[in-house]
A and B are shown apart, each in its own frame.
Chain A
């Protein structure tokens, strides 16, 4: 089953401040949808609202037809998530494999679907898919940012969810690794609905079927060829849009 996300007149306020004014949006999988926008524009807020982690002050969120508004438990049955690196606290010394295994077994717990050795194999397969086997048994507290991001991607896809929400999933990965991960994300998007938030639309442009530009609401949405027009982006980003060799780069201090 490929995924489907629908927002109906969703409005989000955080501490009395409107972060997302009423928006309606329907995304159907499979395919890659890239959400771009400057820092503080509401990318993470949009993803967290879709996952039921933030309860909108108005409207409904439907995931695969199920009402998941403000209900992360319901949304989590359809969605694999990679949080922004800054939202992850790697203080406690559990290993990469323990992290992936325990997330998987917790998910399967009510169903007792698999034996410990099956869980272990699934974890190793997922870590292998993201090239993280070399450090699978190292504590996550000792991993670099890019290594940790690979492990977090493995955790999100280990249970083969129909929808993936990735919040700047490759921001700390080196250039060669980035291309490799983007390729993996593109491959996953052939069967799943994959939503990725990013500062750098360039790296996903070729593989995206839709680019959504947010800045306190959805400002622009369309295929890359339409949206990645420097003049249109300038309206959202201000002057921080550069055209480098026919490829749009956003300069916002955060972009790699």
Chain B
């Protein structure tokens, strides 16, 4: 059996990014955003295709340029007092409809440009070295924006008032968390696929919380479970001839169920 190191690099990088992001989402209770973001990421990605051919810039750059401000839209709505569910519904309805419209356009106008399927179901086994370097860079930025600031995010999530009194610039950390989320969702969509993205954002921390007795352990276990599921998922996918994202998803689910059966912490 031939194994390509690039598969492990891209999946490992994605796992590191999602494993670090996941405790931030759990601590800051950003699940509403995490669940709706993949829709925005898909829209940004498919929009990147025509934008790239119009501007000559790389599609990934176009996608990030469109997608990150698009994500801030949800936050601006929530900040203005729109309930999270409403803001999420508006965002999902808009981005889902718009991405289908753009996909239709892309399929009819730019037929051979790229495989849209890989954005939907994830395609880490078809990456080039260029894709690998891009995924690794995205992951490095996401990790750098999350792991070193975990303590700040946890304190802000517990009670924002006390955190602000300790001198934390709350909105700075808000934008950092949202940007990291958008970056991971858009930048790694090709690796993990739109369908599985929100599972990868939510499950590592959910797994970790069941297995951990402290904040430090939770963060460690989140990253560890994501990386373990990622690496084993690629191997399983090769052995079974299946899609790696599906395998990673099943493995994380298995970890989560194991944690539940063990009866939570302890």
Contact = CB atoms under 8 A, between A and B. Distances in A.
A53 B154 contact: no
User: What band does the interface of chain A fall in when counting residues whose beta carbon is under 8 Å from B?
Assistant: 20 to 34
A107 interface: yes
Interface string B213-236: 111101000000000000000000
A72 B161 contact: yes
A95 interface: yes
B213 A93 contact: yes
Given A102-B151, A106-B152, A107-B167, A93 B161 contact: no
B164 A73 contact: yes
Interface residues of B, number: 27
B159 A87 contact: yes
B158 A72 contact: no
A89 interface: yes
B158 A88 contact: yes
A107 B162 CA distance: 11
B168 A106 contact: yes
Interface in A71-102: 72-73, 75-77, 79, 81, 83, 87-95, 98-99, 102
A51 interface: yes
Main DSSP-derived SS at the B contact region: helix
B168 A95 contact: no
B61 interface: no
Chain A facing B: main interface SS: mixed
23 contacts: A53-B161, A72-B165, A75-B165, A76-B165, A76-B166, A77-B167, A83-B159, A87-B161, A89-B158, A91-B29, A91-B157, A92-B154, A92-B158, A92-B215, A93-B218, A95-B214, A98-B214, A99-B158, A102-B151, A106-B167, A107-B166, A139-B265, A140-B158
Given A48-B161, A73-B164, A76-B165, 10 more contacts: A53-B161, A53-B165, A87-B161, A89-B159, A92-B26, A94-B214, A102-B151, A102-B154, A102-B155, A140-B158
Interface of B: 23, 26-27, 29, 151-152, 154-155, 157-159, 161-162, 164-169, 209, 212-216, 218, 265
8 A-B pairs closest in CB distance: A76-B165, A94-B215, A72-B164, A92-B27, A95-B214, A102-B151, A88-B159, A73-B167
Interface of A: 48, 51, 53, 72-73, 75-77, 79, 81, 83, 87-95, 98-99, 102-103, 105-107, 110, 137-140, 142, 155
